[in-house]
Amino acid sequence: MKKPIGTTARTGEICPESGNWEVVGSPTTTAPIAKGNRMPPFGAKAVTWKLIRYA
């Protein structure tokens, strides 16, 4: 079962769903991240990522 759009994950956590993820806050960016990979930092900082689109 897929995780819902809007699911969040923090830097260092295991990605719960493959798709396009967006950094919550500012500055922001998007990145394709595959399920099972570790959520990356952004701008050398730990951030919260939000799932915005399925892969």
Predicted local distance difference test score (pLDDT) of residue 11: 98
Helices (H), 1-55: none
**Residue 19: predicted pLDDT:** 98
d(CA 10, CA 8): 7
Question: What was the pLDDT predicted at 36?
Answer: 98
pLDDT of amino acid 47: 98
| CB-based contacts of 51, cutoff 8 Å, min separation 6 | 3, 4, 5, 6, 7, 8, 9, 17, 19, 20, 21
Number of C-beta neighbours around residue 39 at 10 A: 21
Partners of 36 in beta bridges: none
Q: What's residue 40's pLDDT?
A: 98
* Positions of the chain with pLDDT under 50: none
The token pair that represents 7 in the structure block: 């699911």
